[in-house]
Amino acid sequence: MPETRPLLMIPGPVEISPAVLAAVSTPPPSHTSRELIDAFAESLAAMRRVWQAGPESHPFVVAGGGTAAMEMAAANLVEPGDGVLVADTGYFGARMAEILRRLGARVRQVAAPVGEVPPVEAIAQGLAALEQEGPAKALFATHVDTSTGVRLDPEPLARLAREHGLLSVVDGVCATGGERFEMAAWEADVYLTGSQKALGLPPGLALLVASPRALETRARRSAPPPSLYLDWHAWRPILAAYEEHRPSYFSTPPTQLILALRTALREILADGIETRIARHRQAARALREAWEVLGLVPVPVRPEIAAFTLSALRLPPGVDGSLVGRILERGVAVAGGLHPELRGTSFRVGHMGYAVTRPEMLLRTVRAVGEALADAGRPVDPRAAEAAAAAILDEAPQPKVAG
**Which residues of this protein are in contact with ligand PMP, per CB under 6 A?**
12, 65-67, 92, 142, 145-146, 171, 173-174, 194
Which H helix or E strand runs over 391?
A: helix 382-393
Kindly tell me which of 151 and 367 has the beta carbon lying closer to ligand PMP. Answer: 151
Q: Which residues, 6+ apart, have CB-to-CB distance to 263 below 8 Å?
A: 17, 19, 20, 22, 23
Q: Nearest approach, Cβ of 133 to ligand PMP (angstroms)?
A: 27
Is-cis flag, bond preceding 303, omega within 30?
A: no
355 close to 361: Cβ distance less than 8 angstroms: yes
What are the Cα distances from residue 200, in Å, to 129, 175, 255?
40, 11, 17
Q: Nearest approach, Cβ of 142 to ligand PMP (angstroms)?
A: 5
Kindly tell me which of 67 and 227 has the beta carbon lying closer to ligand PMP. Answer: 67
Q: Nearest approach, Cβ of 173 to ligand PMP (angstroms)?
A: 3
The CA distance from 187 to 51, in Å, is 12
49 close to 279: Cβ distance less than 8 angstroms: no
Kindly tell me which of 114 and 389 has the beta carbon lying closer to ligand PMP. Answer: 114
Kindly tell me which of 171 and 231 has the beta carbon lying closer to ligand PMP. Answer: 171
Q: Nearest approach, Cβ of 215 to ligand PMP (angstroms)?
A: 23
Kindly tell me which of 151 and 164 has the beta carbon lying closer to ligand PMP. Answer: 151
Q: Which residue is nearest to ligand PMP (CB)?
A: 66
Q: Nearest approach, Cβ of 43 to ligand PMP (angstroms)?
A: 18
Kindly tell me which of 173 and 315 has the beta carbon lying closer to ligand PMP. Answer: 173
180 close to 329: Cβ distance less than 8 angstroms: no
Nearest 5°: the CA angle 392, 12, 235 is 125
Q: Nearest approach, Cβ of 360 to ligand PMP (angstroms)?
A: 25
